[in-house]
Amino acid sequence: MGMFSEFREFIARGNVVDLAVGVIVGAAFNDIVTVLVDKVVMPPVGLLTSGVDFSKMEWVLKPDDPATAVNEAVAIQYGALINAGIKFLIVAWVVFLLVKAVNAMRREPASADAAPAPPPPQEALLMEIRDLMKAKA
């Protein structure tokens, strides 16, 4: 019974719930980024590169034999890597902006009206001694 209650306490922590929400939102965000890269970013890039479709770019190591029904082609699809890199940059940029926004909200504005912190007792005692010595002189 101890392990079950410990597990329940672990799950009930705010960090675990926040992580679960982050994973779910991240998975949904992945679909948005995929559409953004494939349907919005890459068509103009393809237009600028004379109609090159990056997702179809590949190095064929072994071509497909049209005489067989099975696809035997072996290719390195570096175009998919280019698309994945662009997706990564978009996600990294959005996460950076989100973290920056959250940090700006958490940051408390410096209060100019706040009184300075009192000096430690040793410094206060030394200042009193200094002032007494000045008064005697």
pLDDT at residue 110 greater than cutoff 70: no
Own/partner contacts of 81-90, CB < 8 Å, gap of 24 or more, are 82/54, 82/57, 83/37, 83/38, 83/42, 83/54, 83/55, 86/37, 86/41, 86/42, 87/33, 87/34, 87/37, 90/33, 90/36, 90/37, 90/41
Whether 50 is covered by a domain: the verdict is yes
Q: Are 87 and 54 in contact (CB under 8 A)?
A: no
Question: What number is the average pLDDT over the span 114-122?
Answer: 82
* CATH number (domain holding residue 55): 1.10.1200.120
The band of 69, judged by pLDDT with boundaries at 50, 70 and 90, is confident
Whether 125 is covered by a domain: the verdict is no
How large is the C-alpha radius of gyration of the chain? 31
The whole-model pTM stands at 0.53
Whether 122 is covered by a domain: the verdict is no
Whether 25 is covered by a domain: the verdict is yes
pLDDT at residue 73 greater than cutoff 70: yes
The band of 118, judged by pLDDT with boundaries at 50, 70 and 90, is confident
Whether 73 is covered by a domain: the verdict is yes
The mean pLDDT value of the chain amounts to 82
Q: Which domain holds residue 25?
A: 2-108
Whether 115 is covered by a domain: the verdict is no
Give the helix ranges, DSSP H, for the chain. 2-12, 14-35, 42-48, 78-106, 121-136
Whether 118 is covered by a domain: the verdict is no
Whether 101 is covered by a domain: the verdict is yes
Q: How many structural domains are present in the chain? A: 1
pLDDT at residue 14 greater than cutoff 70: no
